[in-house]
Structure 1
């Protein structure tokens, strides 16, 4: 466990579906003692609480439009202004565009009005980590995934199969496959991720802030490597 006074700064994780980004985010939160900030969660909270930004976001979604960068950034700035982010945070789902990345850089360097409300570990620059996993490995992780409809236990027909094929070890229920885990759907999701993330990786690589990590390694080793990168990366 890290010291409670250690400055972490913002950590941005990139990783395609099935790369283990969610697992690593949770492990980093536990190890570093900083919050995970999800734009999806922020958006849902603002809509549910009917805040000014939430109402605007809801209107956009109901009309079939994407929520604008302006609204998303405003919500993120508000969340980053809360006391629990003073040492840093793990950013989940943000930035999604180069425009959002440029906005975040300006926020962290005090070039925006919102900066007066954000003291993110003395405005350390972000550490950006991209989890790289072999394409065929991703397909196995996702297409092999099966779950028990009764208890929610997750299996993988390749790496963690049940004792009896297609049957949950605990409940005896027939395992099911999510529609999203079918190969044709996954191929589309991976392509969309690559198209969206490539410009962001290029943006952060040009700044010398992008670190790539092997997502095929054991979970513990990946976490250890990430903690080392965070330790040294935000002091570049």
Structure 2
């Protein structure tokens, strides 16, 4: 089983690149953002609780996210591998994910970290907010709060996986195909190792 994490701030292109990587490598996509949006659209108690945090530019609490991921893993026991998109976002989540995968006899093979400037992220998210229906993409102050929260909490996640030599930084600005090729090269190197 080949598991990878696609890592990057909101608006870095994780969704776009995830679709392409899943198609190329036949992985099961686990996007906490998609899971949360599905819960919000369904007006479930979990979705409504998550929305109240997201509307303030805050991350959804760890226990909610971890519960969703655990369930998704349990529901896909025959998967060839997973692409974790937008998760983990905290060291506690990274440790919980590592523990969960160890219990299932697998681990994270590589963490691909997309790097995009703050000005580009704000521009992308405001543009996405025009069509996505996501309230957290429509106000620059909320976007900046999300980005600050991301940086504050997730820098430690990269440090966590750096200890195991699993982080590869990828430039996330420019041509989508070139970014995809860089991601694919990093995956192919880890699969051969």
16-25 or 37-46, which deviates more: 37-46
Query: Given the alignment, which residue of 94, 102, 110 partners 1:127?
Result: 110
SS across alignment from 2:108: coil
Distance in 2 separating the partners of 1:105 and 1:99: 10
TM normalised by structure 2 equals: 0.74
Q: Within the alignment, does 1:19 sit opposite 2:7 as a pair? A: no
Shift of the alpha carbon at 1:106? 1.8
- Gaps in structure 1 of 5+ consecutive residues: 1-6, 116-121, 155-177
Distance in 1 separating the partners of 2:84 and 2:156: 18
Aligned length: 185
Change beyond 3 A, Cα 1:91–1:188? same
Distance in 1 separating the partners of 2:167 and 2:80: 21
Tell whether the 8 Å contact from 1:125 to 1:234 is kept in structure 2 after alignment: no
Shift of the alpha carbon at 1:128? 0.7
Query: Given the alignment, which residue of 72, 79, 95 partners 1:102?
Result: 95
Shift of the alpha carbon at 1:123? 1.4
130-139 or 208-217, which deviates more: 130-139
TM normalised by structure 1 equals: 0.63
- Gaps in structure 2 of 5+ consecutive residues: 54-58
Tell whether the 8 Å contact from 1:101 to 1:200 is kept in structure 2 after alignment: yes
Tell whether the 8 Å contact from 1:42 to 1:76 is kept in structure 2 after alignment: no
Shift of the alpha carbon at 1:24? 0.7
Distance in 1 separating the partners of 2:85 and 2:31: 5
Shift of the alpha carbon at 1:124? 4.2
Alignment of 1:51-62 (within 5 A): 57=46, 61=49
Tell whether the 8 Å contact from 2:110 to 2:190 is kept in structure 1 after alignment: yes
Whichever of the two has the greater Rg, that structure is: 1
In the alignment, which residue of structure 1 is the partner of 2:56? Answer: none
